[in-house]
Amino acid sequence: MNVLVFDIETIPDVAGGRRLYGLEGLNDKDAANALFNLRRQENGTEFLRLHLQRIVAISAVLRSGDKLAVWTLGTETSTEEEIIQRFFDLLDRFSPTLVSWNGGGFDLPVLHYRSMVHGVQAPRYWDTGGDDKSFKWNNYINRYHERHTDLMEVLAMFQMRAAVPLDQMASLLGFPGKMGMSGAKVWDAFRDGDIKGIRDYCESDVLNTWLVYLRFLLIKGEIMKDRYDSELDQLKQYLRREAHPHFLQFLEQWDASGVTA
């Protein structure tokens, strides 16, 4: 198994917003509010267009060989450019199957736009067979290839009206679901200086995604029940060994669900 599960967290790109909409002179809070208001006038929501989503965290579960790791790329002081570069460096090193929940609709397009902003190179990611012939038939860019598996899209048969939220799907399967924060609260947490809280929240999302992916592999018959149980046990042991408070909270909620499968 060679899998990288990932998730990103974003905040408004207030510097870009100032440049695009002439918001010079406004502080970050007021500039963000202006962007939210402009967006609300466009489509009735405050959810900004993807090119104005600044990445503040990318978390990952890496399962490669006998290796299992859960972490957030970079440090609490890393720049957006550094975080993005670290993500694509992982692809260059491992060439993993990427797994996401709505990664095709949000995470990867955001990474595309923000890579353009910073000039981040990612030749392995963009390869469609020019460098590695095997990537012609299975690459990260094609929506229907498995090298990037967007679980939300696959389970919904690529019909957005059939898509469901990750936290509800995870909870339905007996996994913890959302813990302590939501994407809507990330901007407030960032302004309060709670970068660690954002990173911890992002890690809980990739943990849920990894667990849902394991169940997906089980129903596909790609792994058998004993392997599935072994993967769950390995993750529990890892979380206990690392013993970060949010890992232990994740375990507590997982055990409290009482659901076994």
* Residuewise pLDDT in 10s, the chain (261 residues): 899 999 999 999 999 999 999 999 999 999 999 999 999 999 999 999 999 999 999 999 999 999 999 999 999 999 999 999 999 999 999 999 999 999 999 999 999 999 999 999 999 999 999 999 999 999 999 999 999 999 999 999 999 999 999 999 999 999 999 887 776 789 999 999 999 999 999 999 999 999 999 999 999 999 999 999 999 999 999 999 999 999 999 999 999 876 655
Question: How many whole angstroms separate alpha carbon 91 and alpha carbon 96?
Answer: 6
d(CA 176, CA 250): 6
Rounded distance between C-alpha atoms, residue 36 and residue 42, angstroms: 10
Q: Provide the pLDDT for residue 86.
A: 98
Taking the C-alpha atoms of residue 4 and residue 100, their distance in angstroms, rounded to an integer, is 9
Dist. CA 141–CA 126, nearest whole Å: 7
The tokens describing 204, both together, are 């809980």
Largest Cα separation within the chain, whole Å, is 60
Rg (CA), the chain: 19
Residue 182 pLDDT: 72
- For CA atoms 193, 197, 199, 205, give the dihedral sign: negative
Helices (H), 77-184: 80-94, 108-118, 123-126, 151-155, 166-172
In this structure, whether the domain defined by 2-256 belongs to CATH 3.40.50.720 is answered with no
| Residue 91 confidence (pLDDT) | 96
Helix (H) or strand (E) holding 169: helix 166-172
- Identify the three-state secondary structure at position 71: strand
Which residue is it, tokens 């290839």?
A: 145
What are 48's two structure tokens?
């900004």
